[in-house]
Amino acid sequence: MLELDLSATSIDLTRTICDVPSVSDDETVLADAIDVAVRALPHLDVHRDGDTIVARTDRGRAQRVVIAGHIDTVPINGNVPTRDIEIDGEAYVWGRGTVDMKAGVAVQLKLAAELSDPRVDITWMWYDHEEVDADLDGLARLAARRPDLFAADFAILGEPSNGQVEGGCNGNLRAIVRTHGVRAHSARAWIGENAIHKAAPVLARLAEYRPREVPVEGLVYREGLSAVRIGGGIAGNVIPDLCEVEVNYRFAPSRSIAEAEEHVRNVLEGFEVEVVDVAAGARPGLDAPLAQEFLAAVGGEARPKYGWTDVARFSALGVPAVNYGPGDPHLAHHDEERVPIAQIEAVEHGLRAWLTAR
C-alpha cells in the first residue's frame, strides 16, 4: 500500500502523489493513502465518502474555512513519472497532475499535518471525479449527502492560479447541435440530403461569434462559445443523415443557467440544440471579510477565473470562495504540464502565514 510521509516537503509530496496515477475513475489508491495518513493525525476528525476524504479541526474557533483540492487528473500521455527540469534558470517539477492540481493538494496535505492549532477551524477536502461530468463530481456527491460539512465562512480551492488569488469562475455549458438529412448512395448524392453539409452554417456562426468581456464585482470575465467536437457519417459511400456538433459555452458568473441556455439557443436559432451538461459560475466572493484578510495576507491583485471550478459549488451554498494554487492554468492538461518549485513554496508560505497569524 502507498504510504505518504506528511513530514516531507511539499515539493517531495508533489512528486510522490503525481507519480501515483489517479485518472478520473481510478483515484482509490491515492485516496486510500491520504485517508490513512490523515487518520494518523490526532487533531483531525476524518470522514470518507467514496474516494473523497474530509479532515476537520475542531478547536472551537469563531470562524471556519474550507480548503479543498481534487485528486484526479486527466489521462496520462507519457508524462508520468515526474522529473525535475530547468527552463531559463527556473526549477520545475514536470509531469501529469503537477499543475492540475496535485501540487496544490501536496501543500494542503503538508499544512493539514502541521497546523494543529490554526487561527480558524479548517475543513480540508480532497475529492474525486473533478475532471469529468459534473454529476460525478465528488464535491457534488458530498454536498448532497453531508451538506453540514460545507458549513464555513470562506473557502479556498487549490486550483492552479500561478500563486495568485483568482475570484469566482465562469459557468460552463455543453450542448449538442444536430442537423438532419436523408441517406443516399454517394454516387447519387443528389437523391439524399447531406447532414454534414447542413452543419456548415452552425460552424460559421460559431466562427463569427465575438465573446463578451463582462465586469462582475470589479473583475472582468471573458466568455467563449466554441465548437469542441463534430461527428457524422455512416460509411465512405453513404450520404450522412445526421451530424452532431458539440458546443461549449463559458459564461460570466453574472448570467444564470437559464440565461446561458437562452443565449446559446438564440445564437444557434433554427437548429436543434440539446443542452447536455451545465454548471453555474461563481461570483468573485472577495467582499467577505475573511476573503479580504486572505487577499491582503498573500499579496497581489485578485484576478478572474476564466475556467469553471468547484468554487461554484461553495458559492451555491452561500460560502464565498476563491481559487489559490501553484501552477500556470495554461499548462493544465498540457502534455508539458509543469509547476515551478518556487510557486509551490510560495503558496505553502502564503497559506501557512495566513492560517497561523494571530
User: Catalytic positions, please?
Assistant: 72, 130
- Report the alpha-carbon distance of residue 17 to residue 188 in Å, rounded: 58
Grid coordinates in use for 236? 465512405
Whether residue 124 contacts residue 71, with contact meaning beta carbons closer than 8 Å, is answered with: no
DSSP character at residue 193? B
Distance, CA of 312 to CA of 253 (rounded, Å): 9
Enclosing H/E stretch for 85 = strand 83-87
Nearest to 202 by CA among 238, 160, 232, 223: 232
> What is the bridge-based pairing of β-strands 154-157 and 321-323?
parallel
* Through-space distance between the first and last CA atoms of the chain, rounded to whole angstroms: 39
CB-based contact 97:333 (threshold 8 Å): no
CA–CA separation, 200 and 325 (whole Å): 41
How far apart CA 253 and CA 176 sit, in angstroms, is 22
- Distance of alpha carbon 206 from the chain centroid: 25
